Amino acid sequence: DTGVSQNPRHKITKRGQNVTFRCDPISEHNRLYWYRQTLGQGPEFLTYFQNEAQLEKSRLLSDRFSAERPKGSFSTLEIQRTEQGDSAMYLCASSLTGGGNQPQHFGDGTRLSIL
């Protein structure tokens, strides 16, 4: 169990640029989640996958946000035309499928700073 891996750890970019983050889940986990955490707040759910199927995306913050998991393994989260308000920590988590008793394991996150 190598844990959930997120890259990059930090991303600094100018407003208006596109950014992409990668998440590699624990290998046997078929559920993958993306959350956003702003300063002083708890993580806020964005979207999640069961294998390659995106089960919910209505919580993505705008149509500038998209995520995919093409082969059911790693996932990417893309933000197009970044804005100041996108500055946050983006967290990925993975779990086994099952009832709510399958805990989610989190990566260390990608911190995005918009200049």
Q: Which residues make up the interface to other proteins (CB under 8 A)?
A: 4, 6, 31, 33, 35, 40-45, 48, 56, 59, 91, 93, 95-109, 111
Minimum CB distance to other proteins smaller for 79 or for 107: 107
Minimum CB distance to other proteins smaller for 80 or for 108: 108
Among left, alpha and beta (phi > 0; psi -120 to 50; other), residue 40 is left
Minimum CB distance to other proteins smaller for 50 or for 66: 50
CB of 81 to other proteins, least distance (A): 26
Minimum CB distance to other proteins smaller for 70 or for 99: 99
CB of 51 to other proteins, least distance (A): 13
Instruction: Write the CA distances from 64 to 20, 36, 43, 61, 97, integer angstroms.
Output: 12, 14, 19, 8, 29
* Alpha carbon distance 47, 57 (integer Å): 5
Specify the amino acid at residue 28. E
The H or E element spanning position 104 is: none
